[in-house]
Structure 1
Amino acid sequence: MKIYIMRHGQAGMNAKTDEQRPLTEQGIKESIHMASWLAPQLDGELGLVVHSNYLRARQTWQSICNQLPKAARVEESSEITPYGDPAFVASYLTALAATHDNILMVSHLPLVGYLVHSLCPAAGAPMFATSGLACIEWQDDKGVLLWLEGPHTIR
């Protein structure tokens, strides 16, 4: 089973609150680029997509959903915002792993780095580029970070 963790695309600063920051054109373009690169690597459909309730994460999902296999289920969560609890989110994802293949989460720094560390302690807490994607193999209640890529590291 694989868990894909994605940081939202580049967002502008022109909003009244952090929650309302929209994606830039570059953020949309780079997110689509990453999704197009990821799509052929997915085994079958996405069992579950969970994205943050912040505008930029929702827009990231909306911009990439047509590039990826159809998701069986899509959820919006207020638990995966920038300062969400990585231990709680890791527990949630690992519980879902029992019933879903290929989970994609679209969230924020610093949570995405801490979440990788929670799921794969040997990996540390990596930095994510905007639109960056990590792939974790989850098996026997253990995670292994297979890769972490960004829009400038793939072709």
Structure 2
Amino acid sequence: MKIFIMRHGEAEHFAQSDAQRELTKNGRRASAAVAHACAEKGFSQFDKVLVSPYIRAQQTWQEVANYLSSQQVETCDDITPYGDSEHVAEYVSALIDLHNYQSILLVSHLPLVGYLTAEFVADIHPPMFPTSGLTCIEYSPEKRSGEIVFNMQP
């Protein structure tokens, strides 16, 4: 099964709160470009999509949803920038086990995206993600471990 982890697109630097920062035009364009490239690789339909409630992540999903789709899109309060990666990895693993999902996409933030990658791929340091960056992990639910198949960035 495959787990896709995406960092939101480039966002404005200031807003009333971190959660309210919106994507820039470049952030929208770059996110769409990465999603288009992902779809061209044959990955356009996901069993489940989890999206952070922060505006920039929601807007990233809106942009990528022009190329990627799912019947099950959930706003997940646990995948904000400083979410608990171990907790999120356990939740994702439980979803996989319960529903036999074959593909999940998470749209989240630094530093969580790096820590999540390290939760699903053994013996790596949490990688840095550029804005709109996406990683695909081939994950074995039985082994509770995976490996990075590819990375995409704008």
* TM class by smaller structure: over 0.9
> What is aligned with 1:75?
74
Instruction: Report deviation, 1:143.
Output: 1.4
Q: Is the 8 A contact 1:12 1:21 kept in 2?
A: yes
Mapped contact 1:46–1:104 kept (Cα < 8 A): yes
Alignment of 1:91-130 (within 5 A): 91-98=90-97, 99=99, 100-130=101-131
**How many residue pairs end up in the alignment?**
150
Number of the residue aligned with 2:59: 59
| Whole-Å separation in 2 of the counterparts to 1:28 and 1:44 | 18
Structure 2: tracts of 5 or more residues without a match: none
1:23: how far off?
A: 0.1
User: Aligned with 1:60: secondary structure?
Assistant: helix
Structure 1 residue 44 displacement after superposition: 6.6
The Cα shift of 1:43 comes to: 5.1
- Whole-angstrom CA distance in 1 between matches of 2:124 and 2:146: 10
Would the aligned equivalents of 1:9 and 1:28 in 2 still touch at CA under 8 Å?
yes
Deviation at 1:93, TM superposition (A): 1.1
Runs of at least 4 residues off by over 4 Å: none
Q: TM-score, normalised by structure 2?
A: 0.92
* Percent identity of paired positions between Structure 1 and Structure 2: 45
The alignment's C-alpha RMSD in Å is 1.3
Contact 1:123 1:145 in 2 (8 A): no
1-structure distance, mates of 2:122, 2:139: 13
Q: Judge conservation of contact 2:122–2:145 (CA < 8 Å) in 1.
A: no
**TM, length-normalised to structure 1:** 0.92
1:3-42 aligned within 5 A: 3-42=3-42
1:25-51, CA deviations, whole angstroms, 9 ceiling, x for partnerless residues? 000000000000001334572100000
Residues 51 and 77, structure 1, Cα contact 8 Å, conserved in 2: yes
Provide the secondary structure at the position in 2 that maps to 1:83.
coil
Instruction: Check whether the contact 1:7–1:129 (CA below 8 A) recurs between aligned residues.
Output: yes
Unpaired runs of at least 5, structure 1 = none
Q: In 2, Cα distance between the equivalents of 1:92 and 1:21? A: 27
Give the superposition deviation at 1:142.
1.6
